[in-house]
Every structure is written in structure tokens, then in C-alpha cells.
């Protein structure tokens, strides 16, 4: 069987996404969007006013994939597909982004405490004029968290740079009473949807 694309580019610095791609044996290279000081390719992740969370996460994912393809072209790298993803947490139809600091992280965790929230992860691939995207939606139920438990978690520094101020693969996994959907989607890269895209773009995925 011929292999059309033996490699892809991952337009993300997330170590969780790297680990998940390695888990399923994908051959990839990291493509940093800010790769040259003369032409800084970046994505503004600011939500638009009253933007629907599902539309928001797909919009940002599309922008990341497009920025990845532009970066590849600018650096004159071999033309392999670009994989991009974006994750957001939403509760009461509001987008819960990454915490600004530990105080903000504590506020977010108090909001999620004892309630259900939704984790949305969009994953996209871009190659030349071809583009496709999938959306993973997972409902997560948190246990009731008291001040001491939240404080102890924040000491781990796991909340930093994570949507919803937690990583399910770390200590915060103990906060989760129930999950309905994709565990890897909550981590930041839904593997089922990712494999669908890889196959569509000619990568020999499992």
C-alpha cells in the first residue's frame, strides 16, 4: 500500500497533544506558529461578543490550521498536512478560557465545582486547498470542591495554560465524578476524530 503522506505537522505546543499522537504511532513534527521574528504568525484567541462556544472553538481551530499552512510555506518546509486543535470549556453557555493567574484559576474551579460542564475540542487538518474539521463534545461532572482541595491543586501548577484551569490527565482527574464523551477530547485531542481526519488526508493511521 502506498503512503501518500508519511508525516504531518502538529501546529501546537501542547505536550498532551504530542503524547496522544505518539500513543497512536503518528509520525509528526512540531510546527511553531511564531517561528520567525520577521513574520510573526499568530492567532488571536479572543472570543467575539456573545460568540457561541462551539462556533468559537471551530473558528480558532480553523485559524490555527491556516496559520500553520502559512508558516510551513514561509519556512519552505516539505508539504505535509497540518494538524491543529483547540479546546474550550463552557458552562452556562459561557466560554471559560485559560486562567490569567492562580486567583482566576481558583474562581474557575469554584464555578465548575459540583456541576456539569462541557469540553469542546475542534481538530482540523489543512493541506494545500483542502481543509476538514471535526468537533468533539464531552460532558464532565465535577465533584464538590472545597477551598482546601482547590488550594492544594493550585500548588501543583497544573492549572496553568489549561482551558478550564485543569488537566484531566493529572491530579484533577480525581475531581471527575462522571464523563460522557471523549476522554482524549478533554485532554485536547480527540483520537477518534483525529484518526478520521488522518485517513481522509492520506495518512496511514491505525
Query: Which residues are the active-site residues?
Result: 86
Cα separation of 124 and 131, whole Å? 7
Per-residue cell: 32: 511553531
What end-to-end distance do the CA atoms of the chain give, in Å? 14
Sign of CA dihedral 77, 41, 124, 29: positive
Cα separation of 84 and 125, whole Å? 6
3 state DSSP class of 100:
coil
DSSP string, 118-180: EEEEEEEEEETTEEEEEEEEEEEEEPP--HHHHHHHHTTTTTTT-GGG--TTTGGGGGEEEEE
46 CB-contact burial (10 Å; exposed 0-12 / middle 13-18 / buried 19+) = exposed
Amino acid at each position: 500500500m502506498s503512503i501518500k503522506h508519511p508525516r504531518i505537522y502538529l501546529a501546537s505546543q501542547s505536550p498532551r497533544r504530542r503524547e496522544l499522537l505518539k500513543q497512536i504511532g503518528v509520525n509528526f513534527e512540531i510546527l511553531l506558529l511564531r517561528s520567525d521574528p520577521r513574520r510573526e504568525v499568530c492567532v488571536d484567541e479572543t472570543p467575539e461578543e456573545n460568540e457561541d462556544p462551539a462556533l468559537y472553538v471551530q473558528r480558532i481551530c480553523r485559524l490555527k490550521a491556516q496559520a500553520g499552512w502559512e508558516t510551513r510555506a514561509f519556512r519552505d518546509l516539505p508539504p505535509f498536512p497540518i494538524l491543529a486543535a483547540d479546546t474550550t470549556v463552557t458552562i452556562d453557555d459561557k466560554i471559560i478560557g485559560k486562567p490569567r493567574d492562580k486567583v482566576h484559576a481558583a474562581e474557575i474551579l469554584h464555578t465548575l465545582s459540583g456541576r456539569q460542564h462541557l469540553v469542546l475540542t475542534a481538530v482540523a487538518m489543512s493541506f494545500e486547498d483542502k481543509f476538514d474539521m471535526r468537533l468533539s463534545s464531552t460532558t464532565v461532572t465535577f465533584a464538590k470542591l472545597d477551598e482546601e482541595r482547590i488550594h492544594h491543586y493550585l500548588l501543583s501548577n497544573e492549572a496553568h495554560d489549561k482551558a478550564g484551569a485543569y488537566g484531566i490527565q493529572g491530579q484533577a482527574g480525581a475531581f471527575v465524578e462522571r464523563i460522557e464523551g471523549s476522554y482524549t477530547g478533554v485532554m485536547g485531542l480527540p483520537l477518534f476524530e483525529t484518526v478520521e481526519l488522518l485517513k481522509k488526508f492520506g495518512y496511514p493511521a491505525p
